[in-house]
Amino acid sequence: MKPEEGAAFVAFVPIVGRRSPHVGDDHVELAVAIDVGDRYVDIAARIGFREDQVSRGIALGDVDGDGRVDMVVANMWAPASFYRNAGTRTGAFLGLHVKLPVGPVASAATVIRDGHTVWDTPTRAPIGASATIWLPDGRTVTRQVDGGNGHTGKRSPDLLFGLGAANGPIRVELKWRTVTGTLRSETHTLMPGWHSVLLSASEVSGS
């Protein structure tokens, strides 16, 4: 699937003829590619991104809570590298810490709080849950809780949306399944920024 125009992503680029001293495969370099409309351009050198070691994993997430995605690269024979996103030309964002209660105590209704909340009840990431937002220009964007996929590729289960210049209320539709598999759906209106969401464990919509 093609990323949204202007979005950046990390790619593994095989360099034929360059061999790793530790493994028998061709050397694989990390590239940061950005969509410029009709092609992708590697901007890794311009942003100071380079790994000379044998890297085996990438984890993505907003580590410092500023709405910008940071990254950790795991190296096989060297310390891990942490890349803090210090970009300044960023717009508004909507971030959702989505949790589902577990155990004997379950929420009867969905609870949403501003910022980063540590819930009193045990929770887990609701793998498979999704959030769809409506932007002011009519576009919709959907994110799904999965924690990352692929070989040694991981990301935070939090849902993060770039809003650009939109700084007003955002319509958000949440969909998830309860522990028994019942499909639930709710729509809320949220302001940009981080929000903590404790999903309802009730089997009945609207309760």
Cα 146 to Cα 184: distance, rounded to the nearest angstrom = 17
Cα–Cα distances (Å) from 152 to 33, 155, 171, 181, in that order, read 20, 10, 34, 28
pTM assigned to the model: 0.77
Among 3.10.350, 2.60.40, 2.60.120, 2.40.50, name the CATH number for the domain at 92-198: 2.60.40
* Per-domain boundaries in the chain: 8-83, 92-198
The percentage of the chain sitting over the pLDDT mark of 90, rounded to a whole number, equals 39
120 confidence band (pLDDT: 50, 70, 90):
confident
Residue 25 has pLDDT above 90, yes or no: no
Could you tell me the sign of the dihedral formed by the alpha carbons of 39, 42, 46, 48, in that order?
Answer: positive
